[in-house]
Chains A and B, each alone.
Chain A
Amino acid sequence: MAAGVLTGVRQVLRGPRLVSAVFSCHGQTFSSAAAAVKSPAAATDTAATEKILNFPLTQPDYFRLSELFTMKDLFEARVHLGHKKGCRHRLMGPYLFGSRLDIDIIDLEQTAEHLQRALNFTAHVAYRGGIILLVSRRRQFGHLIETTAQECGEYAHTRYWKGGLLTNASIQYSPGVRLPDLIVFFSTLNNVFQQHVGIRDAAKINIPTVGIVDSNCNPSLITYPVPGNDDTPVAMEMYCRLFKMTINRAKDKRRQMELLKGISASV
């Protein structure tokens, strides 16, 4: 009977750590069997984890994010409306379609492409369990962004940005704090129309950034700029919805993959 229990436990051990944790009530027999079969189980475990991490990178649109939005949705959310010609930043020139009655119109074809790239990157970061920080200094949308962060289980910072948050983290928080792996700027300017300090700090610390750049913003330091309107509530709600859906999709996919690998390994 004891031998039968041992073989049963050995079968279970071939699965990844997650599954073996569930069966830990077996006690003494379990721990002695664990010592014997550790190396092959650990090897298959790491192989499975590597497969989980690397498989999504083989396909261009693994999370099927292109079905989340169309150019028509962007147009109806007034994403193409920029500021007046006088407020235009010289580096935003290439992203603009033109100007009509002195108002700059952002090229939605480029926006769609950039947004697809940005959402894909966010999804991959969320899939790998990265910390995503949603940042904006627009008081009109601060509450919306904090609620979005709460709903997708990530973090938000829509308040006054203290100087050393990223660069002086071990003293601002405690030593051993983990910094965000991706920062998403829903508006790259602060309340005095200067570039948000977080962009420069993230670039210094090598944290990738995704940013919605309007026609008066500087897109140079942002890793994945998304030219688009950051003033209209409709547009902001759309961006929040899109990012929330991507992050939730990516996390659900990860949970699914872990379960699948667990089941396939134990079989």
Chain B
Amino acid sequence: QINKIIRPSLNRKHVLFVTTKMFSHKSLVNGMRDTASAGPQKFTQEFIDKQVEEFEVGKRHLANMMEEDPETFTQEDIDRSIAYLFPSGLFEKRARPFMKHPEEIFPKQTAIQWDAKGRPFHFLFYTGKQSYYSLLHDVYEKILAIERHQDKMRNKGLFTSDTKQILLTGSRWLLKEEIEENLVENISDQDYMRLIQLMEKLLSMPYCSLEKEFILKFRKQLEVQSSKYEIPALQYDPQGVAFSVADGRRKTAKASITLRDSGSGNITINGRNYLHYFPVLQNRVQLMFPLLFVGMMGRFDIEGSVEGSGHSAQAGALRLAISRALLSFVSEGEVEKMRQAGLLTADPRIRERKKP
């Protein structure tokens, strides 16, 4: 592999276009020119097309130079070849030479929004925020359509308020940034509030299920948090008794728990009974709380080992380990309840360093 890289072809015909950074097209002589008010630099479509052409040609030259197949020369190959041909010791990665497709280098321009005669394409162009106002127009159109439907049903005598409602639990409205991304336009906070109010109005009408897909386009499903937890595998010992093993940490204390089924509520820690190991009631309550919450107090035998930190931290570590071990014995709904009770959250508090 190294031999191949060391001998690139040094034919003078092969010319590469490699940039380190974009240089401004404006003349550097006239320092007084007001460059800020023109806004971001604009590029014509012909210029960008020419750049794309040059990039493709340069890619083939590079492939020939590196003696690889020009047809199957990917961006990773380009990056590797450039890094080899132009080794740079600069710390700032963005200042090193690169060769990328012009689509990634030149910022995207908004297309011209009117035709050859100068007439804009969109009927709300002169408002300034055509996509946003067009969206409001559409939502209001749907509200009117639903009202007309309601009137029709009333005329027929079939009007009922208890129609199928759209399920909204487990989803949230799209954020302002997400809507801006969809509309490709900037909107203000008041505009966003107005849009949400209109959608709420749409939802408040009895026959809103007619526009279900439209509304769901503006809702984002929330992930179910409880599905993120890794449940320890349920193992079986030679007697057929189920058990699970889990770890827990708190401050500097590390604990490991084995939870055995069909037990009688004995708790052994570091070989000693929990009454001897934890003379303080508070620590014993911490151990028992997960089982109490789930309602399986006398069912399990707990065998634990813990080291580090003090008695309170060790109790906390053991509690977390017991909760995690319990996940394999408990149903889906119970897992969510335990998460909301805070049993599955590791306590992030650690000792703060001494300052002068």
Contact = CB atoms under 8 A, between A and B. Distances in A.
Interface centre among B114, B128, B141 (most CB of A within 10 A): B128
B118 interface: yes
B272 interface: no
Contact of A154 (B112, B113, B118, B123): B123
B118 A159 contact: no
A41 B118 CA distance: 26
A107 B144 CA distance: 35
B23 interface: no
A157 interface: yes
Interface in B108-159: 112-114, 117-120, 123-129, 133, 137, 140-141, 144
Contacts of B120: 131, 155, 177-178
A131 B124 CA distance: 12
12 contacts: A131-B120, A133-B126, A143-B141, A149-B123, A155-B120, A155-B123, A155-B125, A155-B126, A159-B129, A162-B128, A173-B128, A174-B113
For chain B, the bracket of interface size reads 10 to 19
B123 A180 contact: no
A50 to B, nearest CB: 18
Interface in A125-172: 129, 131, 133, 143, 146, 149-150, 153-157, 159, 162, 165, 172
Contact of A131 (B119, B127, B144): B119
Contacts of A154: 123
Given A129-B117, A143-B144, A165-B128, A159 B123 contact: no
B126 A165 contact: yes
A172 B113 CA distance: 13
A146 B141 CA distance: 11
Contacts of A178: 114, 117-120
A177 B126 CA distance: 10
A146 B114 contact: no
Interface of A: 129, 131, 133, 143, 146, 149-150, 153-157, 159, 162, 165, 172-174, 177-178, 180
Given A156-B124, A159-B133, A165-B128, 18 more contacts: A131-B118, A131-B119, A143-B137, A143-B144, A146-B124, A146-B137, A153-B123, A154-B123, A155-B123, A155-B126, A159-B129, A173-B113, A174-B113, A177-B114, A178-B117, A178-B118, A178-B119, A180-B126
A150 to B, nearest CB: 5
A129 B117 CA distance: 9
Contact of B126 (A150, A153, A157, A174): A157
A161 to B, nearest CB: 9
A146 B144 CA distance: 14
A150 B125 CA distance: 12
Interface of B: 112-114, 117-120, 123-129, 133, 137, 140-141, 144
Nearest to B137: A146
B127 A143 contact: no
A157 B112 contact: no
A148 to B, nearest CB: 10
User: Max chain B CB contacts within 10 Å: which of A146, A153, A154?
Assistant: A146
B187 to A, nearest CB: 12
Nearest 10 A/B pairs, CB to CB: A178-B118, A157-B126, A159-B127, A157-B127, A150-B123, A149-B123, A143-B140, A155-B126, A155-B123, A146-B137
Contacts of B117: 129, 178
Contacts of A172: 128
B120 to A, nearest CB: 7
Contacts of A159: 127, 129, 133
A155 B114 CA distance: 13
A109 B128 CA distance: 39
A150 B144 CA distance: 17
Contacts of A162: 128
Contacts of A146: 123-124, 137
Contacts of B127: 157, 159
Most-contacted residue by chain B among A149, A159, A178 (CB, 10 A): A159
A165 B128 CA distance: 8
A165 B124 CA distance: 13
A264 B140 CA distance: 48
A250 to B, nearest CB: 15
A24 to B, nearest CB: 17
Contacts of B114: 177-178
A135 B112 CA distance: 24
A172 B120 CA distance: 14
A143 to B, nearest CB: 5
- Give the interface centre of B112, B125, B141 by most chain A CB atoms within 10 Å: B125
Contacts of A165: 126, 128
Nearest to B110: A174
B202 to A, nearest CB: 14
A174 B137 contact: no
Contacts of B141: 143
A203 B240 CA distance: 93
Nearest to B117: A129
A132 B334 CA distance: 64
A119 to B, nearest CB: 21
A146 B124 CA distance: 8
